[in-house]
Amino acid sequence: MLRDPHFVRTIVLLLEVETGDRDGDGDSGGEDAVDREGSVLGVVLNRPGTVAVGDVLAAWGPAVSAPAVLFEGGPVSPESAVAVGRLSDPRAGDPVGWRALDEATGLVDLDTPTELVGPALAGLRIYAGYAGWSWSQLLGEIAEGAWYVVPSVPEDLLVEDPAALWRQVLGRQPGDLAWLATWPADPTQN
């Protein structure tokens, strides 16, 4: 079980996954010079902070979804900001400053003027820092049971009550995994 306090009861949205297998042979190592260690980047969706976005990124304050605070994205580069948003109408095309992750979710370049990208967004969250692993590190943590890999739904990114997201995500999973949603944060208080 993962005991790092940065990740206890967290939901991490993976933003970038590079396996290191650049030549597609299923092997990220060995003698093949084009293979290298991959990396995985993500943000913690359910750790709202206490600093208002408008206090540190004034132009973006009105554009973010409630709660309008910086979220703790992870322990890597906490002085940096990562913006993740959802498009109102993905068929309308990608706005300036947008890097698509899927059909409607993407990264927003915070150097882009808000008036160019803001109107296209259904919602936006800004994260201080991010989570990062080497590919082999994350695979090892998954193998030892530190993480459960489950599909996300579009609503996860902009959920109104981020503190409830961990229970919501686990609760919608099939089988025994749904039971984890009922575990108390402090088992001594059960």
**What pLDDT does residue 26 have?**
61
Structural domain includes residue 6: no
- Please choose, from the candidates 109, 63, 113, the residue with its C-alpha nearest in 3D space to the C-alpha of residue 88: 63
Structural domain includes residue 132: yes
pLDDT tens digit sequence for 101-137? 999 999 999 999 999 999 999 999 999 999 999 999 9
Structural domain includes residue 102: yes
Structural domain includes residue 126: yes
Structural domain includes residue 77: yes
CA distance 79 to 153: 28
CB-based burial, 154-182: b 16+ in 10 Å, e otherwise: eebbbbeebeebbbbbbeeeeeeeeeeee
Which CATH number covers residue 39?
A: 3.40.1740.10
Written as six digits, the tokens of 73 are 């994205």
Q: Which of 27-31, 36-40, 41-45, 165-169 has the lowest mean pLDDT?
A: 27-31
CA distance 67 to 44: 15
In this predicted structure, the answer to whether residue 76 has a pLDDT above a threshold of 60 is yes
Structural domain includes residue 134: yes
Q: What is the residue range of 47's domain? A: 12-189
Percentage with pLDDT > 70 across the chain: 90
Structural domain includes residue 4: no
Mean pLDDT for 36-63 is 96
CA distance 35 to 50: 42
pLDDT tens digit sequence for 138-190? 999 999 999 999 999 999 999 999 999 999 999 999 998 999 888 877 777 76
**What pLDDT does residue 133 have?**
96
Q: How many domains does the chain have?
A: 1
